[in-house]
Structure 1
Amino acid sequence: MKKNIFNNIFFQLFIYLFIVINLIIQNNYTNINTTKINNIYNIKNCKNKTLSNVILKEFDFGDTTVKLENNYTQIYPLRGIIGVPENNQNHPIVFLLHGSHFLASKNNIRVNERYDLGLRYLVDNLAKQGYLTISVDVNGEYINSKDPSYKLSIDLFNKHLTNLTKAINGLDVGYGVNLNNKGDISNIVLIGHSLGCEGIQYITKNQKEKGKNIIKALLCLTPNYSSLINDISLADIPTAILITELDNNLDGKTLYNNMRKDITRNSWTILTYLKGAKTNYFNDNLDEKDLFLNVHYKTRKIIKKDYLTKKQQQDFLSKYSLDFLNSIYDKENISNEFKIHDNSLETLYGYEVLTSLTMPSTKYTFNSYTNNLSYSF
């Protein structure tokens, strides 16, 4: 009898331990599978880590010169702001070129409007995700009309690139921060805003002519191409074009169509139309008085109601630009919301959008403006 009781107690204890062990294993398994990776940047040795300590530094190398047409000498400042990730990886490099906007003085190129500093938030965001990011002052380009071929933009980029290369190689050239081995000079993405979109096309073309393939992709924010839009030699590298609804200049749509129709093009192109947004809110140093509204939106009489705030618009760009960059360098680590190929996509990061995608390698095109799928061979 006692033996049976002992066996029964032993059996119950065994069952109890079995249940407890299984619960522990289950909980551990659940925790492993529900652990959220907060960072989608994953390139080289920098894996799944948000870089919280980023150095933001303004720099100024003083004035420099370039000879333009008719032997005209243009003086312009070589300055900007740089965002440096915390670790010593050879990070991809991002250059930001602002637009022309409005300048207080056309007689003094060192104007007060520092539109390069208006992109500080984007420099900070991309640097935190592992991109060595630089926003450069391009005001000198827009003051003088003697530069239709964007020679100044090319000269400006090349001089910044020279200084950056020296700094990455360990020389102290005046950034005020150690850049030794911080960047990969062979992996560069250019982001241009407004007229800056035209500048990045010419810069890329110039690099190609020199036999360099260091520029891997372009992001064009509300492009303004004026009369050159149908004549400019477009770079055959992955390109994203972002246009805004509250804008009377939708050159980005024409630019996208030109790329889409180019049968010699091998690179993919995406067009994103952001509803309720305006071209100048991508730059912190521009405000509502600089807004150009398209005629259709004026007639709706609900402009204020439909505006995205500056904070919302910059939130969208921060997420969009990061996903675009990650799509270039690591296609596996892109936000689940960045489904630009989805023909039912109506929102992106919670904002209303329309998207179009062209992939020449498959000759597949989806156009959200017409909601049509097409194949060309």
Structure 2
Amino acid sequence: MLPQEILIKEYTYHLPEERIAIHPLPERDRSKLLVYKSGKIDEHTYAQLADCLPADSLLVFNNTKVMAVRLHFTKHTGSTIELFCLEPADDYPDITTAMLQKGKVLWKCLVGGAKKWKEERLSCSKENMILTAKKVKQEKDYFIIEFEWNDTTLSFADVLQLLGTIPLPPYLNRVAEQEDEERYQTIYAKYNGSVAAPTAGLHFTENLFEKLQARGIQKDFVTLHVGAGTFKPVKTESIAEHDMHAEFIEVSTAFIEHLIQYLPKTIVAVGTTSLRTIESLYWMGVKVIGNENILAENISVMQWEAYHLPQDITPADALQSLLNWMKKMQIEKLITKTKILIAPGYQLRIAKALITNFHQPQSTLLLLIAAIVGDDWKRIYAYALANDFRFLSYGDGSLLWKREE
């Protein structure tokens, strides 16, 4: 069966509301860790992760930083309208450039109560900072909003930090609290740009990193800015009709060199975003092999390309070709987008295992899990439900080794 023919109703399970973790545990690395390998399920904690991995492993983390992208503006009547900042307008080459804009910026936003927004501009303020918002254009799934603020020494990232609130996932059904400012962020978060946390990384602590290092397990970082599309449910009967969201990725030549070095060993992706990034790099390399003169704007990976491009190119050849192309183009850091949809029928090219939380029924993330472990996803999730594992963003996690080919 082609991935496009998959029926999403076959990837569901009953998730009782009480199994959704509403708050994080007091200690990050005390979360439970389900380990699946060669059909066997074991139970550990994240604090024991170093004992679950080969000493020659490379862990790949996503160092994106969640932004306080929920903004509340006051109408002249005194009521409020919420703007949820999704991503920059297409005027900017990448998120970092847009975040650094001063005085004015254009952003794609969801608008809560858009029909009630009659004024030309809305405003919100804190201390001496005044931020205004103006509707520029309405698209199918979002509005283009012009933000303007009075203190032009501040970047838009600074403005969000001052006026915004953390965008907790909708299924938590609560407002953000003070603890979320720290806990809904990995300890290694570095680059502003996400509207959701790469949640597999929330379990890692400095103590856990020390244990991994003592065992000789290495780590490296990519950047994928998580978009609101990560929560987008599959509303179509078959996957063919589902439009996968695009997300910005940033990867350095040094990282790709590190990845090539570890190909014969064990590469473990921490989180689905890290996995989607490193698997996308493989397909970018395949595209370069097919066209050595490919332009940077055409290097991004589309939703179904991984299933139509040549399938017989080795990971080493693909990554080396991408690396050579970047050096030829004098690109030290590749900034592009990926829409890759990893579903049953997909074979992992780079990663041998994935560390991840437990995901929602009928989601593209659950399809990704099934691509790695096959129908055993049902057994894994049944075990987690029967053994008091906590689910979704603040929940427990799993270490899933891909099935032998």
TM-score, normalised via structure 1 length: 0.27
Which structure is higher in RCO with an 8 Å CA cutoff and minimum separation 6? Answer: 2
TM-score, normalised via structure 2 length: 0.26
User: Computing the radius of gyration over CA atoms, which structure comes out larger, 1 or 2?
Assistant: 1
